[in-house]
DNA sequence: TTAGGGTTAG
């Protein structure tokens, strides 16, 4: 068929036969069709035999706007004698591809066999990148040999990729040696990059101390080095370290930039350090750092995880644009705070705005339903996710649903779902159901689940504790003792419960019966006062929450020293009257702490916001925002 | 043509 009816503006004026104009046409070709037409034309006119033009066709097809590797490969295979540039282009394209980096190595070895071409400083980085991705250390070492033989060992790009190759393959000594050698000729820029890559490698291998040592020994650090430490620490949950590097950076006079803020905010969020989070937000505004959708989603998440959901919503509304992640942040935030209906409203607004929800957005929506007892809604949203959006539920989605059914007391259904879902249950989901069984006193299902949990978990202390708590709540002290003995034998420990509160920008952390705080004496006096006032207000300790076989008086004492109570006592003595207290706890709040905190909020006229492992509780004037549904 | 970034069930 003649193609005059599909002529594009690009081809309206046919190219002349001179190479430069074809090359410039290729460079501005926008659609795959433009490219294919130019390609066909080049072949028809014989211009494709010009290696420069052929190379440009290839480059246009695999890099930048087109990124069609299969098409690029066919272009390459048509070349009678690809030049070095073309080899490099295709090797790079494969090395950067998600599914076939290994093909880059195959091509590299084919290139070595060609008589007229030799790898150069542009070939090695891609080939080494491919080795790093597929952890091909032997190939990597051989390529290193070629690098030396051909004299590219001093090239900054080649060197960085060599170091990264060794680091990704876990050969840290080789990586370290290369970096040290490069430090002898301190061309700062390049040396800093090499050190950053080395640090990244140590983090990837979980060798955190080594990473820190390299960082501390760096004479010159760039802002990227600082940001890298902050983000890596935050990613592996070393939250305080992340924040301490952030502060040290400031002390040493290195200015925070956009990436610094985006990197440190998740750590602040998880710690619940509201004051610091507010400082970061103010810093962005004062320094004209644009709060775009990326920084915005980090801020929205920070405000909601730090207890200020209204501010989170406010920041969200002011963002210049929204994407699935900003929506996830605000929906997940509302869910955490138990504001299910608003979470659902936001979800509807998102759909109305034409944004396609991701599976993460649905985790937020389902979590909202779970924490508000909206069972029918939860089911229908899972259905919507599968049928309308074609998303496959992950274990997290089933986790929300099992939790939702369990909290609502629909334990048989929860168990049925857990046993029949198409993904393998993990210890998280078993524990969620086990916690519901304990709460609703269902020993039968609890035992089923416990048995299955024990089959697959051997070193998760929390699972054993949950099981022992289930027995304890049923008064089955014999089995409690058995589980505890087993824990001792297997040497598994549970996460110690701890709570923390930020006062004047400093985080104060407490564990159960904690006497280590410098103001410990005042804190315990306050705890005594609190207990007296609670008793005056008619509070009776709920000793069923103490899951040890000890006498009642001791049980009361054990409750009295729960870490969240200590944190609240400290908050009360170290802030002025009326100040809202923000407490974060790493486990779920216990029933006794929940009911006494309600009273404390009334007695002392304080709003107390507690974030526990699963959600927020806003205590105010004797009531909690969770409506006892947690 | 090399280094750093946001959301995710309990």
DSSP string over A550-612: --HHHHHHHHHT-HHHHHHHHHHHHS-TTPPEEEEESSPPPHHHHHHHHHHHHHTT--EEEE-
Whether A472 contacts A549, CB under 8 Å: yes
Which of helix, strand or coil describes residue A620?
strand
Confidence class for position A547, pLDDT limits 50, 70, 90: low
Full 3-state SS string of A136-152? CHHHHHHHHHHHHHHCC
Mean pLDDT of chain A: 89
Sheet holding A616-620, edge to edge: A506-511, A498-503, A581-585, A608-611, A616-620, A623-624
Confidence class for position A186, pLDDT limits 50, 70, 90: low
DSSP state of A409: T
Does pLDDT of A500 surpass 90? yes
> Mean pLDDT throughout A312-319?
97
> Mean pLDDT throughout A50-77?
83
Structure tokens at A44: 């028809």
Q: Which nt sits closest to A228, CA to C1'?
A: B4
Q: Comparing C-alpha atoms, which of A283, A291, A280, A360 is closest to residue A322?
A: A291
Whether A191 contacts A220, CB under 8 Å: yes
**E-state strands within A362-490:** none
Confidence class for position A616, pLDDT limits 50, 70, 90: very high
DSSP state of A170: T
Does pLDDT of A197 surpass 90? yes
**Percent of chain A as helix, strand, coil, to the nearest 5:** 65, 5, 30
Whether A625 contacts A617, CB under 8 Å: yes
B strand bases under 7 Å from protein CB: 1-10
Confidence class for position A624, pLDDT limits 50, 70, 90: very high
Confidence class for position A549, pLDDT limits 50, 70, 90: low
> Mean pLDDT throughout A304-325?
96
Q: Is the CB of A403 under 7 A from strand B?
A: yes
Q: Which nt sits closest to A196, CA to C1'?
A: B3
Confidence class for position A19, pLDDT limits 50, 70, 90: low
Render pLDDT for A361-398 as a digit per residue (tens, 0 to 9). Answer: 999 999 999 999 999 999 999 999 999 999 999 999 99
Confidence class for position A458, pLDDT limits 50, 70, 90: low
CA of A215 to C1' of B4 (A): 14
Does pLDDT of A216 surpass 70? yes
> Mean pLDDT throughout A290-312?
97
Residue A447: per-residue pLDDT: 85
Whether A365 contacts A391, CB under 8 Å: no
Does pLDDT of A288 surpass 70? yes
DSSP state of A4: G
Helix (H) or strand (E) holding A618, with range, is strand A616-620
Q: Which nt sits closest to A613, CA to C1'?
A: B10
A283-312 in b/e burial notation, b at 16+ Cβ within 10 A? ebeeeebebebbbbbbbbbbbbbbbbbebb
With pLDDT > 70 as the criterion, what percentage of chain A qualifies? 92
Q: How far apart are CA A477 and CA A468, in angstroms?
A: 9
Highest mean pLDDT among A114-123, A459-468, A510-519, A568-577: A568-577
pTM: 0.88
Render pLDDT for A556-608 as a digit per residue (tens, 0 to 9). Answer: 666 678 899 999 999 999 999 999 999 999 988 988 899 999 999 999 999 99
Residue A452: per-residue pLDDT: 87
Q: Is the CB of A596 under 7 A from strand B?
A: no
Contacts of A245 (CB under 8 A, 6+ apart): A226, A229, A230, A233
Residue A368: per-residue pLDDT: 96
Structure tokens at A2: 């003649």
Q: Which nt sits closest to A295, CA to C1'?
A: B6
Q: How far apart are CA A324 and CA A334, in angstroms?
A: 15
DSSP state of A500: E
**Where is pLDDT greater, at A561 or A171?**
A171
Q: Is the CB of A396 under 7 A from strand B?
A: yes
**Where is pLDDT greater, at A31 or A388?**
A388
Render pLDDT for A409-445 as a digit per residue (tens, 0 to 9). Answer: 999 999 999 999 999 999 899 999 998 998 888 888 9
> Mean pLDDT throughout A53-73?
82
Residue A3: per-residue pLDDT: 40
Q: Which nt sits closest to A360, CA to C1'?
A: B8
Q: Is the CB of A265 under 7 A from strand B?
A: yes
CA of A177 to C1' of B2 (A): 18
**Where is pLDDT greater, at A451 or A314?**
A314
Residue A29: per-residue pLDDT: 72
Which of helix, strand or coil describes residue A158?
helix
Helices (H), A184-222: 188-204, 208-217
CA dist A221 to A120, A199, A226, A316, Å?
Answer: 30, 12, 7, 34
């Amino acid at each position: 068929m003649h193609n005059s009816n599909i002529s594009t503006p690009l081809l309206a004026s046919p190219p002349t036969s001179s190479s430069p104009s074809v090359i410039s046409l290729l460079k501005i070709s926008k659609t795959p069709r433009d490219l294919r037409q130019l390609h066909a034309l080049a072949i028809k006119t014989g211009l494709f035999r010009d290696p420069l033009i052929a190379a440009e066709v290839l480059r246009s097809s695999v890099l930048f706007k087109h990124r069609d590797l299969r098409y690029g490969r066919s272009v390459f295979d048509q070349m009678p004698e690809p030049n070095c540039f073309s080899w490099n282009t295709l090797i790079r394209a494969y090395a950067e591809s998600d599914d076939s980096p290994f093909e880059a190595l195959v091509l590299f070895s084919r290139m070595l066999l060609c008589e007229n071409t030799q790898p150069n400083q542009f070939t090695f980085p891609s080939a080494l990148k491919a080795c790093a991705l597929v952890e091909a250390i032997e190939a990597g070492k051989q390529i290193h040999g070629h690098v030396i033989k051909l004299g590219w060992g001093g090239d900054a790009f080649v060197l960085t990729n060599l170091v990264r190759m060794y680091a990704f393959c876990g050969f840290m000594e080789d990586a370290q040696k290369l970096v040290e050698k490069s430090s002898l000729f301190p061309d700062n820029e390049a040396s800093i990059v090499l050190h950053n890559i080395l640090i990244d490698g140590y983090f990837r291998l979980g060798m955190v101390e080594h990473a820190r040592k390299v960082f501390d020994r760096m004479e010159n650090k760039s802002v990227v080095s600082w940001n890298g430490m902050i983000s890596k620490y935050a990613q592996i949950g070393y939250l305080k370290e992340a924040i301490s590097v952030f502060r040290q950076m400031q002390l040493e006079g290195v200015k925070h930039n956009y990436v610094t803020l985006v990197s440190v905010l998740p750590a602040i969020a998880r710690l619940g350090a509201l004051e610091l989070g507010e400082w970061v937000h103010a810093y962005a505004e004062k320094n004209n750092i644009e709060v775009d959708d990326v920084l915005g989603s980090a801020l929205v998440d920070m405000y909601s995880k730090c207890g200020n959901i209204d501010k989170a919503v406010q920041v969200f509304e002011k963002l210049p644009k929204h994407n699935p992640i900003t929506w996830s942040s605000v929906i997940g935030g509302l869910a955490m705070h138990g504001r299910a209906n608003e979470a659902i409203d936001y979800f509807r607004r998102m759909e109305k705005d034409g944004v396609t929800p991701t599976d993460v957005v649905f985790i937020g929506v389902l979590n909202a339903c779970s924490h508000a007892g909206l069972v029918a809604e939860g089911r229908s949203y899972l259905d919507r996710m599968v049928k309308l959006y074609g998303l496959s539920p992950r274990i997290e989605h089933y986790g929300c649903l099992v939790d939702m059914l369990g909290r609502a007391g629909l334990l048989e259904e929860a168990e049925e779902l857990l046993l029949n879902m198409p993904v393998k249950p993990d210890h998280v989901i078993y524990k969620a159901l086990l916690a519901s069984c304990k709460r609703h006193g269902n020993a039968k299902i609890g035992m089923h689940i416990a048995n299955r949990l024990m089959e697959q978990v051997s070193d998760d202390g929390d699972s054993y504790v949950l099981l022992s708590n289930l027995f304890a709540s049923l008064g089955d002290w014999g089995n409690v003792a058995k589980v505890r003995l087993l824990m001792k034998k297997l040497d598994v420990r549970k996460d110690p419960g701890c709570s923390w509160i930020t006062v004047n920008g400093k985080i104060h952390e407490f564990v159960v019966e904690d006497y280590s705080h410098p103001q410990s004496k005042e804190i315990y006096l306050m705890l005594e006062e609190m207990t007296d006032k609670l008793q005056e207000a008619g509070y009776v300790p709920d000793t069923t929450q103490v899951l040890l076989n000890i006498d009642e008086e001791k049980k009361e004492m054990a409750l009295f020293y729960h870490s969240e109570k200590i944190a609240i006592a400290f908050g009360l003595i170290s802030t002025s009257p009326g100040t809202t207290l923000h407490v974060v706890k790493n486990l779920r709040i216990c029933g006794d702490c929940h009911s006494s905190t309600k009273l404390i909020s009334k007695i002392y006229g304080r709003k107390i916001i507690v974030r526990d492992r699963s959600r927020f509780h806003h205590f105010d004037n004797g009531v909690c925002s969770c409506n006892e549904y947690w």
